[in-house]
Structure 1
Amino acid sequence: MAAEAGEPGSILVEEARLLANDALPGGHYLLRLAAPGIAARAEPGQFVHLRCGPELPLRRPLSILRASARDGAVELLYKAVGAGTRLLTTRHAGETLSVIGPIGQPFDLDAARPRVIAIGGGVGMPPMLFLAERLRGTAFRPLLLLGSEVAFPFQPRPSTLMLEGMPAAVIAALPLAEDWGVPSRLASGQGFPGCFEGHVTQLADAYLATLDAAALSQTQIAACGPTPMLRAAAAVAARHGLPAQLCLEEHMACGVGGCAGCVVPLATPAGPAMARVCVDGPVFEARAVYPELFAAAG
């Protein structure tokens, strides 16, 4: 059953049936839920707020990895790093979870810039995969760049989609993206075969440095990951004169804008302001989040 929450037609509360909760490499888990109302509305960059178990009243926010209106299913990728997500690993297929979603403002890309560099780090990878899936078959041309300092939650394979300007030794790719025809490359400081040795933002910077002015004028950045990575992604965008949208990660309590526990400072045309990551975001313009980086770049 689904019930409305917040503005009519905006957010749903669903008792979602758990379809799968599979352990993956790197301490990751893939959670698949039957949540048809949320699946039909979800957009890349949005998240759900779910109850991990009856003994833990506070919900946990998880980015949406994939959503299928046809199947009525939502997929979430998470790591067991705290009490909530550790409890979530004990839940089994057939059980139900209370889920609120989809929550937040999704990515809103500029159609005049069809080249999209989608940068995901750690558990910031899911929104980038969701975005790449939604962009395939459109006028946009996504390039998926993913970074991890633990084992990737999927088995990388050598890419068959060659990219001019990409270092020749960097050939590790996300298999699912390859199947879609979406080019992808991986980065890590752990020496994984075929990966760029360093941060994923350094890989993006190196690739963008090979593009000419005409290509850069058609390029924009979308990114999700931990705060230091997002700041680095904004710096890359500023250095190359590109617009960028960042999907922020923040601790949350209510998750629906009531408690204001997830506010961040923004630079707006009207002056400094505070915004709630849950409902005003989680996607914001990089220039608003890190104005000093763009001011320094000129």
Structure 2
Amino acid sequence: MFSLKGKCVANEHRNTLFEEKAEVLAHITHPGDQFVMRVRAPKTAAKAKPGQFVHLRVSDERALRRPISIMLTDPERGTVDLLYKAIGEGTHLLSERKVGDVVPMLGPIGEPFDLSDESKRYVLIGGGVGIPPMIFAADDLNGRADCVVFAGSEVEFPFALKPSTTLLPGINGNAILAISSLEERGIASRLASNAGLYGCYEGHVPNLARDYLAALSDQERSRCVLLSCGPHPMLHAVARVGREFDLPTYLSLEEHMACGLGGCAGCVVKTIEDGVEKYRRVCVDGPVFQADLLPEFA
């Protein structure tokens, strides 16, 4: 994993990968070909950390699995919630799975976000199917550290929404909606969209987060850490915001991958660590990387 100082340190999550036959408990369709699936996978539910993902076999005919970010877990009930969008043949096959079906699953995979410093304020920025790790992180931080969630989408959000009762600095009056499940637990959130969705900030979600950060006092802003997951153009914008305010910024990369276990090296990304160029595997060395180590986002 990568520490807050940008050093590559030893993997602390060995021997926590499981192969489970995950039973589909619920599978809900949302606008824009979005799906929320709940599966029973007790081993993964007990060990998963925000930022990690699972690798699902979408059908018996498809040998290659599909990586899906973990949105929430319930270790007591042994359940894992996943949000994905059906955009290719594999995820379309996954969308046909019914309640009671069994989905072979590997997980949890990858290096999670570092949420250990409870003196920080975590600014969580998610776009599209990059929103789930932000919800997972907010759930983990709830009650022990400050956090705020900014979520962006160009289709209707696949969550219940409600007007927020929490005032946030720098947020204009049009951005009134929040994610209900977060609002009910006292976790502040706001939404952004370019699709004219009611109650949302009109524009890209990194700009919404920037407005918030710019309105904070220097002292409050210095406590902030940016965590983000979403499309690459969005991550580039988040990295720019981090540089503008000189804030630690961590990006969870979305990459095509084959094995998902680090063996094929098909998902490598270039890093610069202590001036040395290296190639890291997104699946197991990531998916979370410090933005400063990624020349693509410099």
The aligned residue for residue 90 of structure 1 is 96
TM-score (norm 1): 0.93
- Measure the CA separation in 2 of the matches of 1:25 and 1:137: 32
The aligned residue for residue 29 of structure 2 is 23
- Measure the CA separation in 1 of the matches of 2:281 and 2:167: 40
1:193 to 193, 198, 212: 198
Superposition pairs of residues 115-264 of structure 1, within 5 angstroms: 115-138=121-144, 140-264=145-269
Q: What is the CA-CA distance between 1:191 and the residue it aligns to?
A: 1.1
Q: Once superposed, what is the RMSD of the aligned Cα atoms?
A: 1.4
The aligned residue for residue 60 of structure 1 is 66
Q: What is the CA-CA distance between 1:8 and the residue it aligns to?
A: 6.2
Structure 1 residue matching 2:219: 3-state secondary structure: helix
Pair 1:42-2:48 in alignment: yes
- Measure the CA separation in 1 of the matches of 2:59 and 2:215: 49
Deviations 1:14-52 (A, max 9, x none): 111111111123321111110000100000000000100
- Measure the CA separation in 1 of the matches of 2:194 and 2:269: 30
Structure 2 residue matching 1:216: 3-state secondary structure: helix
Pair 1:275-2:280 in alignment: yes
The ranges of structure 1 where at least 4 consecutive aligned residues each deviate by more than 6 angstroms after the TM superposition are none
Q: What is the CA-CA distance between 1:95 and the residue it aligns to?
A: 1.2
- Measure the CA separation in 2 of the matches of 1:124 and 1:291: 19
- Measure the CA separation in 1 of the matches of 2:71 and 2:116: 22
Q: In percent, how many aligned pairs have the same letter? A: 48
> 8-17 or 91-100: which moved more?
8-17
- In the alignment, is the contact (CA less than 8 A) between 2:169 and 2:216 conserved in 1? no
- In the alignment, is the contact (CA less than 8 A) between 1:118 and 1:142 conserved in 2? yes
Structure 1 residue matching 2:165: 3-state secondary structure: coil
Q: What is the CA-CA distance between 1:54 and the residue it aligns to?
A: 0.2
- Measure the CA separation in 2 of the matches of 1:62 and 1:82: 13
- Measure the CA separation in 2 of the matches of 1:201 and 1:11: 33
Unmatched runs of 5 consecutive residues or more in structure 2: 1-12
Change (3 A) 1:291 1:22: closer
Unmatched runs of 5 consecutive residues or more in structure 1: 1-6, 294-298
- Measure the CA separation in 1 of the matches of 2:30 and 2:58: 19
TM-score (norm 2): 0.93
Aligned residue pair count? 286
Structure 1 residue matching 2:272: 3-state secondary structure: strand
